[in-house]
Structure 1
Amino acid sequence: MTSRALILIEGHRSIGPLYVRAAQRRGLYPITMATDPTQYDYLAAEGVEAVQVDTNDLDAVKGVYSRLKLTYDIAGLTGFSGLDESVHLTVGKLCRHFGLPGPNPASIEQCHDKFVQRQLLEHAGVPIPDYRVAANAMEVESAVTEIGLPVVLKPVIGSGSSGVQMCRTVHEVAEHTRHLLGGTHMWQTSPRILVEEFAQGQYYTADMMGGRVVGIGTGDFGPPPHFVYREYSYPAPLSDDENARIADASLSCLRALGLGWGPTNVELRWTKRGPVVIEVNPRLPGTPDPELIQLAYGVNLVDEHIKLVIGEECDLRARHSRTASARFLVPDRDGMLEEIEGASRAAAIPGVAEVKMYVHPNTPIVRKGDYRDLIGHVIAASPSRDQTAVLLQQAVDLVSWTITPFRT
């Protein structure tokens, strides 16, 4: 009997294994296509079939898919991105070409470009920060003059807060512009900088599937000028009116960008104007959001996404209501990570759902001011917000590590 296969384009260190296991639970045979499969450790650990192919070469990927189709009954196709969001565009184009359920590639492409995304949101009347696009230092300086300090500078194309920085002074603007344009930052396309008003207010995130809001969470970041995640919690403590306004703004984003199919993640801040949209991501967010949503609402977003991918209907009804929170583990210095202690003791606390380290001892730590600074996380859940906060702190207090500064 021919195996039903689920094709996964590229991989992801955190949610990749979740998709592999979810596919296997549904009786599907996961196959990963990747430019370099060896960078995804879980493929070998889980015994997942991997095919090496340049995933930036659409024709090459089509050829591999056609060959696999001779051996397998292909149920569906999806994919992930690390820093390269273009994977989602490739997935959309492949689904269209082979007649599979999937996102509209045109919608993904216009969402992928942060400047185009903001133009479309603005045209639709969605509240967003004031913004300009700049290709050189002079244009950046002019944009900052028009918008006013503080501003956020970010690459027009990119993810994971890579190259994103808040600038409070003209000097900080000039310094970060030099960093972005001076050859240090790795650009996926020709350099373009989005200069954006800093939206002051609490951060919220809305996770959606197929045009429906599944959950709204809240988060905090480490100290500025960077946006390194510190803590996430679902559901966010909101009044019914606040919840409705965030949901309405998020649904307006879907209509403005044509993102009615599959997962979408909308990032917002609650400002004096109410909810202001910072970013719309046409994908499922990485760990720990899916785990937190499952703990808080009983909805497995990975399972429900796979259902859509293979042409089935998803079920997004909440099964229960709990508070789930994650604290990220972030080093306060550069150097050699010598040892990590207490993770197993923290994981043994009742109510602690997961303690996960992303790195191992004898790893050099060089902070970048983005998602790469995170070395692990702790997740806790309980029926109440206060109890979850206590559990989380107890677990975090047990985890420690030693970093020896580099010799200069």
Structure 2
Amino acid sequence: MSRSTRPLLIVVGGTDPVYRGYCVEQAATASPIGLIDTKPPTWQQDLVVDHEVADTHDPAAVVAAGLALAERHPIAGVVTWDEYALVPTAELVAHLGLPGNTVASMNACRDKATSRRRFAEHNVPSATSTRVDTLAQATAAAHRTGFPIVLKPASHAASIGVIRVDRPEELPAAWEFTAAGAGEQGPEGSGVLVEEYLSGPEISVECVTQNGVTTALAVTRKEVAFPPYFEEVGHTVSAGDPLLPEVAPIAVQAVQALGVTDGVQHVEMRLTASGPRIIEVNSRIGGDLIGKLVRLATGLDLPRIAADVACGKMPDLTPTRHTTAAIKILYPPATGTLSARHLTVEPDDSWLHQTAWLRAIGDRVALPPEGNLNTARVGFFIVTADSLVAAHDRLAALTEGLTLAVTA
């Protein structure tokens, strides 16, 4: 690969072409990219000037790969949008002496038990939470907390192993489900959390922090399905969302409580009867193409903003659009073999920004809890509109023209 005379931005992992391809593309507009990933670049080869192959979830491997890149190039900054690479990325930042988040702050984000403790210490509205290791401990904690409760692994992501439990008799089966997820979680936390269930609409606040100063940029309204699981099946971002002034101070407070000083944050919360309360803080761009929705709705380019912050540049936070963007993620009607998939699109559907199929005819598909993000999702479409209501109407119109079928 070619060598750059300009300082590189090191990107650690997060190169899935479906959900993170746009991040690599937009970051490349800010700086030449040096990639650390588990395999050599393929689709992103033209966007990368150099690379190292390493286990992106192993701090020592990431540090070694980053130091190898630093021997060949000047380095301007390091960034990741992979939840499981946050701590290794912080380790590399420290070794290179670059501005960025500390290992302690990233551990606090990754380990939800530490997050809850920090929230309590800083009076951030959150949920009652107890870390446990056994079903007996979970049962005792659930009765202290009061049903319904939520079980979740301490350091996972993407709602893996998360389940709502409404009654004591549901606990044993729910425990088996969550404990299985916890067995595969990241090393930053351990065990299972028994938490108070927060009732109300779920949202996230997309933030940027530089030198310890956090700015809330946008609100993402979420659609969650397949109870008692928490599968996210849709997101909507509107420029100038009236919720932003209400929820922004709480999001900022949560980011500061965890010691996060730099980068883009995806702050999840529920709008409860007692006010907004924090679910968790993810110190990276939100998944499910939320960053793309933010750009379509507001013009704010989160990957470019993250790259600028990592490189010590002042990002442009001026909105240039004022509209709404929404994504609907498509799930099969049942578990089985995908036998039909078709979306009827009218020629004048200029508001249909993107469609994608993630599974092919003949593929095995599975609904939660058996299915995961790879096997449950069949595709998605993204629309734009002048308002949240209009965007949802367009999603509904597309859904009417959608054909999905499976055979047993």
TM-score relative to the length of structure 1: 0.89
Query: Structure 2 matches for 1:210-229, cutoff 5 A?
Result: 210=209, 211-229=214-232
Deviation digits for residues 1-22 of structure 1 (CA, Å, limit 9, x no counterpart): 7343332212242443123212
Question: Hey, what's the Cα distance between the residues in 1 that align with 2:346 and 2:288?
Answer: 19
**Structure 1 residue 158 and structure 2 residue 159: aligned?**
no
**Offset from partner CA, 1:186-225 (integer Å, 9 cap, x none):** 3444851101111111111100011100001211211310
Q: Which residue of structure 2 aligns with residue 350 of structure 1? A: 350
Q: 1:390 aligns with which of 381, 393, 399?
A: 393
Structure 2 CA distance for aligned equivalents of residues 346 and 367 of structure 1: 29
329-338 or 59-68, larger mean C-alpha shift? 59-68
Matches of 1:244 and 1:233, distance apart in 2: 17
Aligned to 2:26: 22
Question: Hey, what's the Cα distance between the residues in 2 that align with 1:330 and 1:23?
Answer: 30
Contact 2:33 2:48 in 1 (8 A): no
Unpaired runs of at least 5, structure 2: none
Q: Is the deviation greater in 13-22 or in 315-324?
A: 13-22
SS at match of 1:390: helix
Contact 1:346/1:396 (8 A) holds in 2: no
Question: Structure 1 stretch 162-171 or stretch 363-372: which is displaced more?
Answer: 363-372
State the match for 1:114 in structure 2: 112
Output aligned runs, 1:38-49, within 5 Å.
42-43=43-44
User: Percent same amino acid at aligned positions?
Assistant: 22
Distance 2:115 2:215 in 1: 20
Given that residues 149 and 164 in structure 2 are in contact (C-alpha distance below 8 angstroms), is that contact kept between their aligned partners in structure 1?
A: yes
Instruction: Tell me what 1:133 maps to.
Output: 131
Q: What SS is found at the alignment partner of 1:144?
A: helix
CA shift at 1:230, angstroms? 2.3
How far apart, CA to CA, are the structure 2 residues paired with 1:101 and 1:148? 43
Deviations 1:72-124 (A, max 9, x none): 3333221232xxx3411111111121022322221111121101100110111
- Aligned equivalents of 1:67, 1:268: Cα separation in 2: 40
Give the gaps of 5 or more residues in structure 1: none
Asked whether the 8 Å contact 1:201–1:269 carries over to 2, the reply is yes
The aligned residue for residue 196 of structure 2 is: 197
Given that 1:204 and 1:236 are in contact with CA atoms closer than 8 Å, whether structure 2 keeps it comes out as no
Larger mean CA deviation between 310-319 and 331-340 belongs to 331-340
Q: What's the TM-score, normalizing by structure 2?
A: 0.89
8 Å contact kept, 1:221–1:229 = yes
Taking a change above 3 Å as real, the CA distance of residues 348 and 53 of structure 1, as seen in their structure-2 partners, is: farther
SS in 1 for 2:333: coil
Mean CA deviation greater in 362-371 or 280-289: 362-371
Answer with 99-108 or 113-122: which moved more.
99-108
Instruction: Tell me the CA shift for residue 45 of structure 1.
Output: 8.9
Aligned partners of 1:336 and 1:364 also within 8 Å:
yes
1:140 is displaced (CA, Å) by 0.4
Structure 1 stretch displaced more, 253-262 or 193-202: 253-262
Kindly report the root-mean-square deviation, in angstroms, between the aligned alpha carbons of the 2 structures: 2.6
71-80 vs 295-304, greater mean Cα deviation: 71-80
Given the superposition, is the C-alpha separation of residues 200 and 364 from structure 1 closer, same or farther in structure 2, using an over 3 Å criterion?
Answer: same
Distance 1:329 1:120, change over 3 A: same
1:108 aligned partner, one-letter code: M
Bigger drift between 313-322 and 134-143 goes to: 313-322
User: Is 2:173 the partner of 1:175?
Assistant: yes
* Superposed CA offset, 1:341-372 (max 9, x none): 227x3797211111122233332213343544
Indicate how the Cα distance of structure 1 residues 182 and 208 shifts in structure 2: closer, same or farther if over 3 A, else same: closer
Please list, as runs of the form range in 1=range in 2, the aligned pairs for 1:366-405 lying within 5 A after superposition. Answer: 366-369=366-369, 371-372=373-374, 373-405=376-408
> Within 5 A, what are the aligned runs for 1:257-406?
257-342=258-343, 345=345, 349-369=349-369, 371-372=373-374, 373-405=376-408
Change beyond 3 A, Cα 1:236–1:167: farther
Give the deviation of 1:271 after TM superposition: 1.1
What letter is aligned with 2:77?
G
- Residues 299 and 80 of structure 1: CA distance in aligned 2, closer, same or farther (over 3 Å): closer
CA–CA distance in structure 2, aligned partners of residues 63 and 170 of structure 1: 48
Q: Which moved more, 1:326-335 or 1:6-15?
A: 6-15
Which piece of structure 1 moves more, 309-318 or 51-60? 51-60
| 1:123 partnered with 2:121 | yes
- SS of residue paired to 1:267: strand
Instruction: Output the CA distance in 2 between the equivalents of 1:86 and 1:52.
Output: 16
